[in-house]
Chains A and B, each alone.
Chain A
Amino acid sequence: MKELMLGNKALARGLYEAGCSVASSYPGTPSTEVTEEIAKYRDIYSEWAPNEKVAMETAYGAALAGKRSMCAMKHVGMNVAADPMYTASYTGVNAGMVIVVADDAGMHSSQNEQDSRHHAIASKLPMLEPSDSAEAIAFAKAAYGISEAYDTPVIIKMCTRIAHSQSVVETGERVCPQQKPYEKNPAKYLMTPANAIRRHPIVEERTKALVQLGNECMFGDIRLNRIEWAEDRDLPGEDVPNAPMPVEEGMGRIGVICDSTCYQYVKEVYGDSIDVLKIGLVNPLPTTLIKDFAASVDEVWVIEELDPIIENHCRMMGIQVHGKDILPMEMEYSQNLLREAMGMDVPASAALEEAIPPRPPVMCAGCPHRGLFYTLHQHNVRVMGDIGCYTLGGAPPLFAMDNNLCMGASVSMLHGFNKACGKESEQNTVAVIGDSTFLHSGMTSLADIAYNRSNSTVIILDNSITGMTGHQQNPATGFDIHGDPAGRIDLESLVRSMGIDRVRVVDPYDLAQCDEAITQELAAEAPSVIISRRPCALLKTVGGQKVVHSRPLVNDPAKCVGCKSCMRIGCPAISMKEKKAVIDRTQCIGCGVCQQLCRFDALVSGS
């Protein structure tokens, strides 16, 4: 039966059908739904790991044990997991192992737009790139086959548009191969220099064999690379061969080489009017296939988002191509972007003369981070930031974040800043980090503070969930990926056991409490941790208990003088109408932070 399926869900479906048995991931947009969907298949063991490195090592361990495994991450997560990945390339696997990475060209939800294909090249791992949901299912199956046939982990690269687009698929049955026996084999798996030296040439030979696979295009009945000749070509038969076509003199034929979502844009603009080489196995890239294709046309265009990977490969083979000389290195492509680059007309469109005010994402009404960030803003301190919903605290009117870098960096950046500047910095700088981010990689940074003693003040924003990516459990929530009871790390005990004596918990809805804690801990001549604890306002249950919010507040217009004090917290539920504050009842959850700023007692609990 045909159905519409999200790219990430289709990939999960393909992995399931191909017999994936163990899945371990850390959430990250746009990769999260792959693992969330995998978790719905209860015959796959699935989990959220504390970070991507742990997830990859878990998946590797399972593959070593003889069961097909997967791990998924966003592009920057692959940096965290790079260490095991590069050596897993040397050891190979036992049963198949698939690494899913989702890039975010256009930075819809990311701090950079690095191109993960570089990781595939550098780690010498094969990488497949589907162009729609149906191909995501097919490539998942091919990935396990390639992984076992060529003894290597296989990367499947998604991007935002493929991951978060629904297209038509047909699903199949799950075929689960028998568990492969594990055999101790130090020469293959124990990467001492002596053994690794012998493994490296095997990796190089494997790459040569994979280049040949790319040239041949087919893995079993799954087409990895394909040429779609233009409709005006005189084709020899139904099944289009990859063999070169004669160049017809004077035709000025353009041939396009593309991958991923760019294939869709090319077909949207040109239909079947030009020759297209669609690359699905993007690492290693084919050689003779590209040469033959280039020889069949007068001019080759390479259309790929972000970096010129295919383009540079063509140039290395001595093929002259157009690519980044006319197309951008940054942001997502689209059909109009191609039309403009190719000198074609774009559809006419209208716009209003006046500017429409932007609508940036904001912290939700009742967000527990707001009270804490308001207090930091009042103290006018430097704030080393981190990755999560709370990064929105850097926006106006709170402006309560100076920087961010990567998961966990707030804590170590604070340590470095304090070591560089001493007391002045120690009394005027804090780090803020979410509970999930702290457990991801803030713990090791805190170990540095505890060990090398900087008088740093770290604030853990514990909202009892991984928020930004859509509410995933983590090791501090006490629940697993299915919402079932699980082990729970106690943050206070963890921090104390590292040697931090000054640990205190505050309620971020209580501004006086936040103020006192920040004042005292900044002044203290010792490392300290403040845990700002309140569940995410969007959670419907916490710890198995249903969340009941307070009544929405209302503004008493007789008391309100229109001073806008309540507006200073940047709550989306408060606006000014006719010089009086108005509270949106549909958004307000009665957190009471604005109430504490009103000197006229105008904000009261509604009936």
Chain B
Amino acid sequence: METKNIMIVGVGGQGSLLASKLLGYLLLKEGYDVKVSEVHGMSQRGGSVVTYVRFGDKVYSPIIDRGEADYIVSFEEMEAARYLPYLKEGGRIVTNTQQIDPMPVITGASAYPEKLIEKLEEKGAQVDAMDCLTLAEEAGSSKAVNIVLMGRLSKYFDIPAEKWQQAIEALVPEKFREVNLKAFALGRG
């Protein structure tokens, strides 16, 4: 199988590490070769963060380059737009519609761009946008945005929902399990 590419983007501190851990665990169980590339250090301090997840028969490069991502999973609306150049032609964006102002917007140096979802669709991206924060809160924790997004992403994979749920059970501490399983179900819809 040709290597498939999933990019997870967001704002440092939003919990993208659990999302990539879940994907890595699941895809390895499915028998694929997998590589996951993370960002640590300075950019975690509220900066724009990227995680690459690649899987297939044999994966070489740990990173995803422009025009290569089959999926972009975004924790924040503007971050989805920032990484559009990485999307493969006809690729899919799964994004949270939450907007978090970066420092240049806070200081008034620039404005938060408007109507981003429409603009992304005009560029040929298939966009699946949803208010993940509200769904996460409905599940019981605003921190479960990552699992809501994974729930939505799971719709586009041939892997049965139970396998995803088993992966969540394996990786999440018991006391957060119920919240996360609910978040997954709400995201999957």
Q: Which residues of A contact B (CB under 8 A)?
A: 2-4, 6, 29-30, 32-33, 108-109, 132, 161-162, 164-168, 261, 264-265, 267-268, 334-336, 346-352, 354-364, 389, 392, 395-397, 468-470, 564, 567, 570, 572, 574-576, 586
Which residues from chain B contact A162 at a C-beta distance below 8 Å? 62
> Cβ of B78 and Cβ of A575 under 8 Å apart?
no
Report if B39 contacts A (CB, 8 A). Answer: yes
Which residues from chain A contact B187 at a C-beta distance below 8 Å? none
Which residues from chain A contact B176 at a C-beta distance below 8 Å? none
> Cβ of A396 and Cβ of B107 under 8 Å apart?
yes
Of the candidates A164, A334, A570, A576, the one whose C-beta lies within 8 Å of that of B61 is A334
> Cβ of A359 and Cβ of B11 under 8 Å apart?
yes
CA distance A6 to B20 in the complex (A): 12
> Cβ of B25 and Cβ of A356 under 8 Å apart?
no
Render B50-80 as a binary contact track against A, CB cut-off 8 A, 1 for contact: 0000000001111101111000000000110
Which residues from chain A contact B113 at a C-beta distance below 8 Å? 352, 354, 356-357
Q: Nearest chain-B residue to A8 (Cβ)?
A: B40
> Cβ of A4 and Cβ of B24 under 8 Å apart?
yes
Shortest distance in angstroms between B167's beta carbon and chain A's nearest beta carbon? 12
> Cβ of A30 and Cβ of B41 under 8 Å apart?
yes
> Cβ of A335 and Cβ of B87 under 8 Å apart?
no
Listed stretches B27-35, B151-159, B177-185; interface member:
B27-35
List 16 additional A-B contacts (Cβ < 8 Å) besides A265-B60, A350-B124: A165-B38, A165-B62, A168-B34, A267-B61, A334-B61, A349-B66, A349-B67, A352-B119, A354-B119, A356-B78, A357-B113, A359-B11, A359-B79, A359-B102, A360-B104, A586-B142
Q: Nearest chain-A residue to B52 (Cβ)?
A: A165
Of the candidates B39, B81, B86, the one whose C-beta lies within 8 Å of that of A356 is B81
CA distance A346 to B68 in the complex (A): 9
> Cβ of B37 and Cβ of A347 under 8 Å apart?
no
Report if B166 contacts A (CB, 8 A). Answer: no
Assuming the contacts A161-B63, A167-B62, A261-B62, asked whether A358 and B86 have C-beta atoms less than 8 A apart, the reply is no
Shortest distance in angstroms between B40's beta carbon and chain A's nearest beta carbon? 6
> Cβ of B33 and Cβ of A361 under 8 Å apart?
no
Report if B163 contacts A (CB, 8 A). Answer: no
Which residues from chain A contact B127 at a C-beta distance below 8 Å? none
CA distance A368 to B78 in the complex (A): 29
Which residues from chain A contact B142 at a C-beta distance below 8 Å? 586
> Cβ of A352 and Cβ of B81 under 8 Å apart?
yes
Shortest distance in angstroms between A179's beta carbon and chain B's nearest beta carbon? 35
Which residues from chain A contact B161 at a C-beta distance below 8 Å? none
Shortest distance in angstroms between A580's beta carbon and chain B's nearest beta carbon? 14
Of the candidates A164, A352, A357, the one whose C-beta lies within 8 Å of that of B105 is A357
> Cβ of B102 and Cβ of A347 under 8 Å apart?
no
Which residues from chain B contact A29 at a C-beta distance below 8 Å? 40-42
The residue among A268, A392, A469, A586 with the most chain B CB atoms within 10 A of its own CB is A268
Of the candidates A3, A30, A167, A574, the one whose C-beta lies within 8 Å of that of B40 is A30
CA distance A262 to B102 in the complex (A): 33
> Cβ of A265 and Cβ of B40 under 8 Å apart?
no
Shortest distance in angstroms between A72's beta carbon and chain B's nearest beta carbon? 14
Q: Nearest chain-A residue to B11 (Cβ)?
A: A359
Assuming the contacts A2-B28, A267-B60, A334-B61, asked whether A361 and B43 have C-beta atoms less than 8 A apart, the reply is yes
Report if B126 contacts A (CB, 8 A). Answer: no
> Cβ of A4 and Cβ of B34 under 8 Å apart?
yes
Which residues from chain B contact A168 at a C-beta distance below 8 Å? 28, 33-34
> Cβ of B43 and Cβ of A4 under 8 Å apart?
no
Shortest distance in angstroms between A448's beta carbon and chain B's nearest beta carbon? 29
Shortest distance in angstroms between B32's beta carbon and chain A's nearest beta carbon? 9
Of the candidates B45, B48, B65, the one whose C-beta lies within 8 Å of that of A364 is B45
CA distance A586 to B112 in the complex (A): 20
Which residues from chain A contact B12 at a C-beta distance below 8 Å? 361
> Cβ of B60 and Cβ of A268 under 8 Å apart?
yes
Report if B188 contacts A (CB, 8 A). Answer: no
Which residues from chain B contact A164 at a C-beta distance below 8 Å? 37-40
> Cβ of B43 and Cβ of A109 under 8 Å apart?
yes
Of the candidates A336, A356, A363, the one whose C-beta lies within 8 Å of that of B66 is A336
Shortest distance in angstroms between B5's beta carbon and chain A's nearest beta carbon? 10
> Cβ of B44 and Cβ of A361 under 8 Å apart?
yes
Q: Nearest chain-B residue to A470 (Cβ)?
A: B40
Shortest distance in angstroms between A335's beta carbon and chain B's nearest beta carbon? 5
Shortest distance in angstroms between A225's beta carbon and chain B's nearest beta carbon? 18
Assuming the contacts A347-B68, A356-B81, asked whether A363 and B24 have C-beta atoms less than 8 A apart, the reply is no
CA distance A91 to B41 in the complex (A): 36
Which residues from chain A contact B120 at a C-beta distance below 8 Å? 352
Shortest distance in angstroms between A401's beta carbon and chain B's nearest beta carbon? 15
Report if B84 contacts A (CB, 8 A). Answer: yes
Which residues from chain B contact A165 at a C-beta distance below 8 Å? 35-38, 62
> Cβ of B41 and Cβ of A359 under 8 Å apart?
no
Shortest distance in angstroms between B87's beta carbon and chain A's nearest beta carbon? 7
> Cβ of B110 and Cβ of A468 under 8 Å apart?
no
> Cβ of A350 and Cβ of B102 under 8 Å apart?
no
Assuming the contacts A570-B103, A572-B46, A572-B103, asked whether A161 and B112 have C-beta atoms less than 8 A apart, the reply is no
Q: Which 10 A-B residue pairs are closest in the complex by CB-CB distance?
A: A347-B67, A109-B41, A29-B41, A361-B47, A349-B67, A359-B102, A165-B62, A361-B45, A268-B61, A357-B110
Which residues from chain B contact A586 at a C-beta distance below 8 Å? 142
> Cβ of B89 and Cβ of A348 under 8 Å apart?
yes
CA distance A298 to B145 in the complex (A): 54
CA distance A167 to B28 in the complex (A): 10
Assuming the contacts A267-B60, A351-B85, asked whether A109 and B65 have C-beta atoms less than 8 A apart, the reply is no
Report if B172 contacts A (CB, 8 A). Answer: no
> Cβ of B61 and Cβ of A166 under 8 Å apart?
no
Q: Nearest chain-B residue to A161 (Cβ)?
A: B62
CA distance A33 to B38 in the complex (A): 13
CA distance A586 to B59 in the complex (A): 38
Shortest distance in angstroms between A392's beta carbon and chain B's nearest beta carbon? 7
Report if B138 contacts A (CB, 8 A). Answer: no
CA distance A354 to B114 in the complex (A): 10
Shortest distance in angstroms between B17's beta carbon and chain A's nearest beta carbon? 11
CA distance A358 to B47 in the complex (A): 9
CA distance A273 to B100 in the complex (A): 46
Which residues from chain A contact B11 at a C-beta distance below 8 Å? 359
Q: Nearest chain-A residue to B25 (Cβ)?
A: A4
Of the candidates B24, B47, B124, B125, the one whose C-beta lies within 8 Å of that of A166 is B24
> Cβ of B38 and Cβ of A361 under 8 Å apart?
no
> Cβ of A265 and Cβ of B61 under 8 Å apart?
yes
Report if B175 contacts A (CB, 8 A). Answer: no
Assuming the contacts A109-B41, A334-B61, A363-B45, asked whether A357 and B34 have C-beta atoms less than 8 A apart, the reply is no
Which residues from chain A contact B47 at a C-beta distance below 8 Å? 359-362
Which residues from chain B contact A334 at a C-beta distance below 8 Å? 61, 63, 65
The residue among A264, A351, A355, A389 with the most chain B CB atoms within 10 A of its own CB is A351
Shortest distance in angstroms between B158's beta carbon and chain A's nearest beta carbon? 21
